[in-house]
Amino acid sequence: MTETEPDLKVLKTSSCKSITGKSSLTYQVGATPDDDIYIRITKNTGAGQFSDEWIKVEDIQKALAEGHKGEPLTSFLLQTLFKGRSVNTPAFIMAALTQEKLLCALKGKKRGHEFLDPEGFDSRMQKLVSGKGTTSRAKKKAPVRKAPSKKRAVARKKAAKTT
């Protein structure tokens, strides 16, 4: 964790559900000129307070690695990174890291997670850092409306004449 705001380029803005599923979160992933990757929460649709400070993903991984061996990873392991800050932020970060496929929720453990291979995340971030990836969400296409079938049009005309 850094005491001052790092010089970052936002690589990605995305959203996910909170771990409890009660709210939607918006988060950003950014990189320093030295290609260090950071993450932060920027919005919560629920009432829970959060800190919007940037946290280095490497620091998060180290804090989680220092957890109890053989035990599920929980957001409590991240509390030292947010000293004196909102208690919601570590769990929100866990949700974002799950969305980014760095963590996986354990079946039967509502708040327990495990590490996933970081290679996929690292590869996606390197593409974004190099400018070869996309930084914005794809725009949704408008739904295609089907033209009414001839049979339905004829049936509607007949129904209109009988009334």
Domain positions in the chain are 9-159
Per residue in 143-157, pLDDT tens? 444 444 555 555 666
- Helices 89-99 & 57-65, crossing angle to 10 degrees? 100
Residues 93, 149: Cα–Cα separation, whole Å: 50
Most confident of 77-81, 88-92, 152-156: 88-92
The pLDDT value recorded for residue 75 is 87
Q: What is the average pLDDT value for the chain, to the nearest integer?
A: 80
Residues 102, 78: Cα–Cα separation, whole Å: 15
* % of residues, the chain, pLDDT over 70: 75
The pLDDT value recorded for residue 72 is 84
Across 51-75, average pLDDT:
86
The pLDDT value recorded for residue 74 is 85
Token output for 52:
């919007």
The pLDDT value recorded for residue 5 is 67
Across 15-29, average pLDDT:
93
